[in-house]
Amino acid sequence: MYRRIFAEYEIVFVVRYKYVICIVCFFTLIVFDAWLSEELWHSAQPDSRNVLDAVWEDIVYFPIPESSFDKKGYSVSYTDSFMQSRSYGGERFHEGCDIMAGINERGHYPVVSVSDGCVEKMGWLKLGGYRVGIRSPNGVYFYYAHLSDYAPELICGMEVKAGDLLGFMGDTGYSEVEGTTGQFPVHLHFGIYLNEADGEEKSYDPYPFLQELEGHKLEFYYE
């Protein structure tokens, strides 16, 4: 008896307020759909903001110090060339930023570490020539390629501080033959790599970080 009365009351309620119920259901669905889309979108995205926080925290100095001898004459330049196409060694994308020497002379411009860290890799690479890789405290891998020479006493495993000399800008690389030079103008190829949550290494555009470091250049005496 009680159940029947209640059921009838329910039916009357539904009939009387059917439009209101429809509208409420409709908006509930919209809100739920928006929430679900947002959740799915976020779960599909790498957490790039947090990942890049590691880079922002670790960078201290621009990789090429200014010359106290002649700031303008010995300046360097760069554009955002990240992910431009490259063909040497097969079709690929440019995973870094090229800092070009104002004076096309190998061994002239010092290259310093942008961060504290540990020298993880050194030696010859077919693409990068003489390169050095520094692993920073937050796990960022800073890659410096095409060096003409290494800093004296720089060895794998040693700790470096931001601003420490790593070597000199050059034009080594683009050859299986160690020591090859002259395949392109003198420049520093600067790369930034981070390990994703799944352990895969991914490169990030160094350009915005270099721009930030424009105001943080060391001054060395070189002519």
Query: Helix, strand or coil for residue 139?
Result: coil
Q: Which 8-state DSSP code applies to residue 78?
A: -
Of 92-111, which residues contact Zn ion (CB under 5 A)?
96, 98
Find the shortest distance in angstroms from Cβ 179 to Zn ion. 19
- Please say which residue, 116 or 189, places its beta carbon nearer to Zn ion: 189
Select 108 or 189, whichever has its Cβ closest to Zn ion.
189
Query: Cβ of residue 137: shortest distance to Zn ion, in angstroms?
Result: 25
Q: Which is nearer to Zn ion, 116 or 168 (CB)?
A: 168
Buried b (16+ CB within 10 A) or exposed e, 49-65: eebbebbeebbbbbbbb
Nearest distance from C-beta of residue 181 to Zn ion, angstroms: 15
Which residue's C-beta sits nearest to Zn ion? 189
Q: How far is the C-alpha of 214 from the C-alpha of 205, rounded, in Å?
A: 16
Which positions from 176 to 205 touch Zn ion by CB under 5 A, shown as an x/- string?
A: -------------x----------------
Distance of closest approach, residue 96 Cβ to Zn ion, in angstroms = 5
Q: Which is nearer to Zn ion, 58 or 171 (CB)?
A: 171
> Where does the chain have alpha helices with state H?
2-16, 18-44, 48-58, 207-213
- Determine contact, residues 82/189, Cβ cutoff 8 Å: no
C-beta neighbour count of 105 within 10 angstroms:
15
Residues 6+ apart with CB under 8 A from 30: none
Q: How far is the CB of 166 from Zn ion (least distance, A)?
A: 16
The residues that touch Zn ion, with contacts defined as CB under 5 A, are 96, 98, 189
